[in-house]
């Protein structure tokens, strides 16, 4: 089946620094990728939709200057948390939608990245 | 507003007994409905989906779900629970917007605990 990877799986950073999380579709092309965050014992909240070669679409309330998204190729999207604060600590999950195949196209999830800001 | 509800925070069931995890939705048009499972510190794994056709959908690991349009429900079921089924389960609906844009929205999640 289709595989989505995330790197790193865990990261600890100091307050004020930036951290980049990568999301890759390993065996399929993804025009569209999604970034979610999940707080403990809560559901996934969509942060933004990443479109290859164009600007990301952010959900209401998500600061685009703080959560920078780049989707430079059909297999890679990155999320950069800039000037991280402890409240940014969360579990970040990416998802990639297969660009080909019958509609509705499948959406596959990565294993998540645990970010801790100290 | 379009939404997905999972009314139970936790479901407890004995191993070998049938299990049901409830999900109701409120969306306009014909819904695309999904169930995912999440194990600790892991991403989501797809279980099954309903797009159209037969209301009873069979998925991975022996799970199934029944789409009920009149009750706007999509409950997840399994005839005989296993301890290894213990996890967090999410119901989701795909919302469609003009221009071909669509996104998944998730219910709050239900923790399933299967006891030996």
**Which of the residues in chain B have pLDDT under 50?**
none
Identify the pLDDT of residue B95. Answer: 85
Average pLDDT on A64-92 reads 95
pLDDT one-digit tens code per residue, B89-115: 999 999 887 777 788 999 999 999 999
Q: What pLDDT is recorded for position A51?
A: 87
> In this predicted model, what pLDDT tens digit does every residue of A32-51 receive, in sequence order?
999 999 988 788 899 999 98
Smallest CA–CA distance from B102 into chain A, residue: A49
pLDDT confidence bin for A1, thresholds 50/70/90: low
Among A104, A106, A111, the residue with its CB nearest the CB of B43 is A111
Q: Are B7 and B108 in contact (CB under 8 A)?
A: no
Distance from CA of A93 to the nearest CA of B (A): 7
A107 and B101 in contact by Cβ < 8 A? no
Using a CB-CB distance cutoff of 8 angstroms, which residues of chain A are in contact with residue B107?
43
Q: Can you give the pLDDT at residue B2?
A: 82
Hey, are the CB atoms on B106 and A6 less than 8 Å from each other? no
**pLDDT given for residue B41 in this prediction:** 77
Task: Name the CA dihedral angle for A49, B90, A107, B96, rounded to a multiple of 10 degrees.
Answer: -60
Instruction: Find residue A116's DSSP bridge partners.
Output: A12
> Which residues, including other chains, have CB under 8 Å from residue A60's CB and lie 6 or more apart?
none
Q: Do A91 and B41 touch (CB under 8 A)?
A: yes
How close are the terminal C-alpha atoms of chain B, in Å? 40
Q: B104 vs A91: CB contact, 8 Å cut-off?
A: no
The residue among B3, B30, B44, B96 with the most chain A CBs within 10 A of its CB, best to mutate, is B44
A72 pLDDT higher than 90: no
Average pLDDT, rounded, for chain B: 92
* Contact residues, chain A to chain B, C-beta under 8 Å: 4, 6, 34, 41-44, 46, 49, 57, 91, 93, 95, 104, 106-112, 114
Does the structure show a pLDDT above 70 at A25?
A: yes
Tell whether the model's pLDDT for residue A113 goes beyond 90: yes
Per-residue pLDDT, B14: 98
């Amino acid at each position: 089946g289709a595989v989505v990877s995330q790197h790193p799986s865990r990261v600890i950073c100091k307050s004020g620094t930036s951290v980049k999380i990568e999301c890759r579709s390993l065996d399929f092309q993804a025009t569209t990728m999604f970034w979610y965050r999940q707080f403990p014992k809560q559901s996934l909240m969509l942060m933004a939709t990443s479109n290859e070669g164009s600007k990301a679409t952010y959900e209401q309330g998500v600061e685009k200057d703080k959560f920078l998204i780049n989707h430079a190729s059909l297999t890679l999207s990155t999320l950069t948390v800039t000037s991280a604060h402890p409240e940014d600590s969360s579990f970040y999950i990416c998802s990639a939608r297969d660009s080909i195949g019958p509609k509705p196209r499948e959406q596959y999830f990565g294993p998540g990245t645990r970010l801790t800001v100290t | 507003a379009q939404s997905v509800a999972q009314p139970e925070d936790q479901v407890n069931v004995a191993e070998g007994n049938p299990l049901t995890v409830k999900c109701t939705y409120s969306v306009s048009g014909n819904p695309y409905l999904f169930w995912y499972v999440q194990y600790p510190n892991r991403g989501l794994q797809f279980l099954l989906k309903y797009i159209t056709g037969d209301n009873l959908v069979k998925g991975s690991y022996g799970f199934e779900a029944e789409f009920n349009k009149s009750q706007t429900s999509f409950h997840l079921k399994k005839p005989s629970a296993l301890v290894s089924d213990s996890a967090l389960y999410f119901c989701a609906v795909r919302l469609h917007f003009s221009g071909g844009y669509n996104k998944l929205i998730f219910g709050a999640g239900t923790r399933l605990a299967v006891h030996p």
